[in-house]
Amino acid sequence: MNIAVIGGGIAGAAAAFGLAQKGVRAVVYFESSGSSGLYSGALDFELWDRVGELTRIEPGLARFAEALGVWRLEASPLCVATHEGNVRPTRGSDSAVLDLGPCAGKRVAVVDLERDDWDAPLLAKSFASSAWARQTNTHFHEARVRALLSGFERRIAGYDFAALHDAPERLSGLLSALQLSGVQPDAWLFGPWLGIERQAAAELSSALGVPVGETTSALGGAAGARFDNARDRLLARVADVERGRVTKVEPSVAGYVVSASQGEAREFSAVVLATGGVAAGGVALERSFERHGGTGFRLSFAAPVPLELEHEVFEGVSSLSNVDFVARGLSTLLDVGIATGSGGDVRGRPGLFAAGDAIAGRPRMALEAARTGLCAADGAFAHASRFG
């Protein structure tokens, strides 16, 4: 069975995994990391202040998280500290992020080291004044830890600082620094710096006998890098990867022909479009159109796919011109996408499916991307079984 997935973010990885579970080795096209490589490490179905964290985890989603190997999805929601100083609920998280739930009513030490992007005393105060900390009587305090070895480590990107802790000698140095700090809290809270390749948070937790973990990541930090690496490992096992830009998806007798910037065009009986939204460039914002003028949207490749904006479907073309941002507001950037039915089937295009941030009008959230990726895989498999 011949199925293509376009996009290597969470939705594309989930779609390829879902197809592999049915015995299909999909061809996955992607150019670079999209939003998934930039995300915070919190895993939500909806914006976290909308109570979406209670949604049940379906078995397929749990299997995908397990196969990825860097996500924690448990029966009940987690509570995490953000890099910006909030405490918030989330349905799941990158495994290195500290789950504050079991720390309720206890003492959490916020690691105080001299990085320019980290103010431990201020963060400890901010976490301590959160509604969750006050309700649960949880104490946050800063704890001085000598964890920087050179002056330049104050300023290097969070990603690079996290990567330093992949080295075994560096991690054992960090363990000694925690032991020598003179405090014995019930949990240690770091910034997003506990390794990219290795499970440094789990190793420190088991060595110290108390939970050790991170806050969420800032844009483009450790959590996104861990997803990217985990995605590469997973796709190498379950799919054939074509790194490059897809330029065109066009209907053919047997399905769809996919053309890319490199290599021959190939025909597939079904295609999953997991190309992301405006944030990742899957939907491009254009300042002017040769024929129409104005500002609008188009997909990052040519395809006869309807776009949708605020429940209005624009049939037949993969571009949408003359969008009035003053009247519609900037939320259009999050709303615009491919028009689909509830199973991710692209309207009027049998055998084409969309997933993740590429779908119009759905929450731009990591678990929604994974859920819709698995759903699109089901649809593509069913279609290819009947017509492929």
Residue numbers at the binding site for ligand FAD (CB under 6 A) = 6-12, 29-36, 38-40, 42-44, 219, 245-246, 274-276, 279-282, 300-301, 356-358, 364-367, 369
Q: From the CB of 56, what's the least distance to ligand FAD, in Å?
A: 16
Helix or strand or coil: residue 315? coil
Q: What CA–CA distance (Å, rounded) separates 47 from 25?
A: 33
Tell me whether residue 276 or residue 296 sits nearer to ligand FAD (CB atom).
276
Of 290, 342, 341, the C-alpha closest to 319 is 290
Contact of 263 with 257, CB cutoff 8 Å: no
Tell me whether residue 142 or residue 193 sits nearer to ligand FAD (CB atom).
193
Output the six-digit token pair for 233. 């490992």
Tell me whether residue 96 or residue 210 sits nearer to ligand FAD (CB atom).
96
List own/partner pairs for 199-204 with CB under 8 A and 24 or more apart.
199/95, 199/96, 200/96, 200/165, 200/166, 200/171, 200/174, 201/95, 201/96, 201/98, 202/95, 202/96, 203/171, 204/171, 204/174, 204/175, 204/178
Instruction: Give the bridge partners for 109, in sequence order.
Output: 141, 188
Instruction: Give the bridge partners for 110, in sequence order.
Output: 142, 189
Q: From the CB of 269, what's the least distance to ligand FAD, in Å?
A: 20
Instruction: Give the bridge partners for 337, in sequence order.
Output: 308
Contact of 74 with 65, CB cutoff 8 Å: no
Q: What CA–CA distance (Å, rounded) separates 84 from 126?
A: 9
Contact of 295 with 287, CB cutoff 8 Å: yes
Q: From the CB of 376, what's the least distance to ligand FAD, in Å?
A: 10
Q: From the CB of 101, what's the least distance to ligand FAD, in Å?
A: 17
Burial of 251 (0-12, 13-18, 19+ CB in 10 A): middle
Q: From the CB of 193, what's the least distance to ligand FAD, in Å?
A: 18
Tell me whether residue 251 or residue 281 sits nearer to ligand FAD (CB atom).
281
Tell me whether residue 53 or residue 203 sits nearer to ligand FAD (CB atom).
53
Tell me whether residue 144 or residue 248 sits nearer to ligand FAD (CB atom).
248
Q: From the CB of 73, what's the least distance to ligand FAD, in Å?
A: 12
Per-residue b or e along 176-190, where b marks 16 or more CB atoms closer than 10 Å to that residue's CB: ebbeebeeebebbbb
Tell me whether residue 36 or residue 215 sits nearer to ligand FAD (CB atom).
36
Q: From the CB of 83, what's the least distance to ligand FAD, in Å?
A: 10
Tell me whether residue 142 or residue 368 sits nearer to ligand FAD (CB atom).
368
Tell me whether residue 90 or residue 181 sits nearer to ligand FAD (CB atom).
90
Q: From the CB of 257, what's the least distance to ligand FAD, in Å?
A: 15
Instruction: Give the bridge partners for 283, in sequence order.
Output: 299
Q: From the CB of 53, what's the least distance to ligand FAD, in Å?
A: 10
